[in-house]
């Protein structure tokens, strides 16, 4: 590698290190993020519920449909942390795990099913 290539790569890496992470742009307030996540659940649940699938399957589908709203909530919570970058990274890592992500939606699905007697729990 010649010196010019090394210099260009070094400058690019330094520039990347100094850039603000994209998740920090347009962070919602925690209350707004919670509201949007709840709104997503309320809108998407009736579209997903088929009265046949298990609650876990419905929760998994709901977690996929509401991923953007959940990511907004993660960013809002992380932005209030003493170490926002680490908090954001850890929370996003957990949200990518289908089991952990689905567990976050399962209480909503079970509650909605218990409120509607025509849907099996």
SS3 sequence of the chain: CCHHHHHHHHHHHHHHHHCCCHHHCCCCCHHHHHHHHHHHHHHHHHHHCCCCCCHHHHHHHHHHHCHHHHHHHHHHHHHCCCCHHHHHHHHHHHHHCHHHHHHHHHHHHHHHHHHCCCCCC
Q: Is 79 left (phi over 0), alpha (psi -120 to 50) or beta?
A: alpha
* pTM for the full predicted model: 0.73
The structural domains of the chain, with segments of one domain joined by +, span 26-115
Residue with token string 């849907």: 119
Between CA 61 and CA 50 the distance in angstroms is 11
Residue with token string 């709203």: 69
As given in the structure block, the two tokens for residue 10 are 């070094």
Residue 41: its pLDDT value, please? 95
pLDDT digits (tens, 9 = 90+) for 19-28: 556 657 778 8
User: 55, 31, 54, 59: which is closest to 44 by C-alpha?
Assistant: 59
pLDDT digits (tens, 9 = 90+) for 26-70: 788 999 999 999 999 999 999 999 989 999 999 999 999 999 999
């Amino acid at each position: 590698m010649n010196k010019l290539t090394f210099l260009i790569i070094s400058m690019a890496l330094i520039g990347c290190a100094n850039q603000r992470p994209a998740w920090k742009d347009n962070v919602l307030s925690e209350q707004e993020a919670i509201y949007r996540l709840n709104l997503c659940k309320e809108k998407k649940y009736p579209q997903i519920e088929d009265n046949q699938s298990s609650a876990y399957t419905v929760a998994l589908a709901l977690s996929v449909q509401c991923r953007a709203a959940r990511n907004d909530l993660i960013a809002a919570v992380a932005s209030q942390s003493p170490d926002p970058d680490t908090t954001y990274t850890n929370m996003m890592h957990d949200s990518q795990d289908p089991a952990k992500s689905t567990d976050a939606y399962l209480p909503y699905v079970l509650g909605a099913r218990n409120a509607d007697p025509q849907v099996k729990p």
